[in-house]
Amino acid sequence: MKKVQLAKGTRDFLPAQARRRKYIFDVLERSFQRYGFQPLETPALENLDTLMGKYGEEGDQLLFKVLNSGDFTRALGEGGISGKSLRELSLLLCEKGLRYDLTVPLARVVAMNRHEIALPFKRYQIQPVWRADRPQRGRYREFYQCDADVLGSGSLLCEAELVQLYDEAFSELGIPVKIHINHRKVLEGLAQEAGISGRFAEFTVEVDKLEKTGPEAFEQALRSLGLEEAAVRRVLGHLAANDPERIAVNDLARTGAEEILSVKRFLSGTPLKNELVFDPGLARGLSYYTGCIFEVKPVGVQMGSLGGGGRYDELTAIFGLPGVSGVGISFGADRIYDVLTELERFPAQLGGMPRALLAPLSEGALLYAFRLATELRRQGIPVDVYPEVARLKKQFAHAERLEVPYVVILGDDECKAETAQVKDQRTGEQHCIPAAQLAGHLG
């Protein structure tokens, strides 16, 4: 028999992992809801029409395409596959693809339901996406995105809420972070001041790489963009500024800086738990941001950003609905999982874990165990019952693998006396307890 395997770049989540992931998603979902974001779910399968051309040429290649049902060769016509490019062929063979992110589906939903959806529309969405990337450590072909976006308002109150949402969610998760903020206009101002407005895209690419490659490589890159030595020095100086008041090198930069100050003004009445830092070197390489840009980095752990986002305009214009401004943030659930593991910050008892394994030692005790379990469950206490009579050693081994805090041993004596032997798995202590008091003891 051929060895069964997972598809490349995909993962199973066994109970211990699945519970930890649920914990993260639950914290994020509750945060989203506290801030008035509403849930949205979109299908995994989208028409390729909807997806193609939205993520650049590379993105198109990374889309998983789904073979048409029925006679998928018919669309190829007489010529079959000959003389057609891979792109052409794939579009003849496939009409549908898998969701690549949660942003394009959001734009589609708002454009398609424009009369039903009240703007400003605050939505959150926690769903998997698929990318035909080469799998490598920490990069998967199927992974969850956790997004919150506000569509239809240009107010900087939205940015302030999203900064606060980041702050509170990471506090609740127990991960100390720095929230970096910048503004596209600050970067545009710096490029203008250096005289390379025409090469803004290349400039931001270099700014983006600065932290990774270091100042020397950066200086060299700026020189190759045509900058004089003095201008290179000035750019480096500006990028080191940590106060938006001091970056107003021209009107453009001033406009950006003032928006950041407005965001800070909203936040000034109710202090954040984490630091919000102005970071003029934050570019996030994403050409579609038009206003504020965010990124969240963990403090004290070697790990890339745990989330990012920013303001964009005209997102829904690709689907025929112009004039809608939006701002959104994203949480990187896989990295959050890794940081929580490294910091050992996952709660010891996660929601929904059974509090006890009921261990029956005789046929009579099996019926008794079932009745006790029913009563406990009806009182809202999750418990498990070993479903058959088995040696105590075997049942204890099972309890250990389940990581339940208590084992409730039930033999004929307990059955007759309506009691239970309750063993605390952490302390090793064991007590005989009347059945009626079991809920209070385990709960």
- Pick out residues in 64-93 that bind a second copy (CB under 8 A): 64-67, 69, 71-73, 76, 80-82, 86, 89-90, 93
Letters for 311-350 (x = contact with a second copy by CB under 8 A, - = none) are --------xx------------------------------
4 belongs to the binding site for a second copy (CB under 8 A): yes
Residues 399-428 that bind a second copy (CB under 8 A): 401-402
In the complex, minimum distance from the CB of residue 302 to a second copy, in angstroms, rounded to a whole number = 27
In the complex, minimum distance from the CB of residue 333 to a second copy, in angstroms, rounded to a whole number = 12
Q: Identify which of 173, 177, 143, 175 has the alpha carbon closest to the alpha carbon of residue 20.
A: 173
| CB closer to a second copy out of 21 and 199 | 21
Q: Name the one residue in this structure whose structure tokens are 């239809």.
A: 152
Residues β-bridged to residue 313: 325
In sequence order, the 6+-apart residues with CB closer than 8 A to the CB of 15 are: none
Q: How many amino acids of this chain bind a second copy (CB under 8 A)?
A: 115
| CB closer to a second copy out of 397 and 436 | 397
Residues 28-47 that bind a second copy (CB under 8 A): 29-30, 33-36, 38-47
| CB closer to a second copy out of 61 and 430 | 61
58, 115, 118, 429: which one binds a second copy (CB under 8 A)? 118
| CB closer to a second copy out of 116 and 429 | 116
In whole angstroms, how far apart are CA 194 and each of 146, 234, 286?
A: 37, 8, 21
Residues β-bridged to residue 130: 142
| CB closer to a second copy out of 122 and 284 | 122
Task: Name the phi and psi angles at 282, rounded to 5.
Answer: -85, 120
| CB closer to a second copy out of 81 and 217 | 81
Residues 367-386 that bind a second copy (CB under 8 A): 367, 370-371, 373-375, 377-378, 380-386
In the complex, minimum distance from the CB of residue 224 to a second copy, in angstroms, rounded to a whole number = 33
28, 103, 145, 164: which one binds a second copy (CB under 8 A)? 164
Tokens of 33: 């809801």
Letters for 225-264 (x = contact with a second copy by CB under 8 A, - = none) are ----------------------------------------
| CB closer to a second copy out of 55 and 200 | 55
In whole angstroms, how far apart are CA 190 and each of 12, 185, 204, 385?
A: 46, 8, 10, 66
91 by Cβ neighbours in 10 Å (0-12 / 13-18 / 19+) ranks as middle
Please give the single-letter amino acid code of residue 418.
E
439 belongs to the binding site for a second copy (CB under 8 A): no
Between CA 366 and CA 420 the distance in angstroms is 13
In the complex, minimum distance from the CB of residue 403 to a second copy, in angstroms, rounded to a whole number = 10
27, 52, 103, 130: which one binds a second copy (CB under 8 A)? 130
In the complex, minimum distance from the CB of residue 199 to a second copy, in angstroms, rounded to a whole number = 32
- Contacting range for a second copy; rule: CB under 8 A; set: 188-196, 213-221, 288-296, 396-404: 396-404
148, 151, 160, 225: which one binds a second copy (CB under 8 A)? 160
Q: Identify which of 23, 10, 11, 24 has the alpha carbon closest to the alpha carbon of residue 331.
A: 24
Please give the single-letter amino acid code of residue 406.
Y
Would you tell me the crossing angle of helices 229-239 and 200-224 to the nearest 10 degrees?
A: 130
147, 149, 161, 295: which one binds a second copy (CB under 8 A)? 161
Written as one string, the DSSP assignment of 112-146 is HTTTTSPSSEEEEEEEEEE--PPPBTTB-SEEEEE
Tokens of 37: 């974001």
How many residues comprise the chain? 443
**Cα-Cα-Cα-Cα dihedral sign, residues 186, 162, 63, 325:** negative
Letters for 170-209 (x = contact with a second copy by CB under 8 A, - = none) are ----------------------------------------
393 belongs to the binding site for a second copy (CB under 8 A): no
With contact defined as beta carbons under 8 Å apart, do 232 and 222 qualify?
A: yes
108, containing H or E segment: helix 103-112
Q: Identify which of 194, 184, 55 has the alpha carbon closest to the alpha carbon of residue 132.
A: 55
Residues 259-298 that bind a second copy (CB under 8 A): 265-266, 269-270
In the complex, minimum distance from the CB of residue 308 to a second copy, in angstroms, rounded to a whole number = 21
Between CA 242 and CA 310 the distance in angstroms is 19
In the complex, minimum distance from the CB of residue 326 to a second copy, in angstroms, rounded to a whole number = 12
In sequence order, the 6+-apart residues with CB closer than 8 A to the CB of 11 are: 140, 142
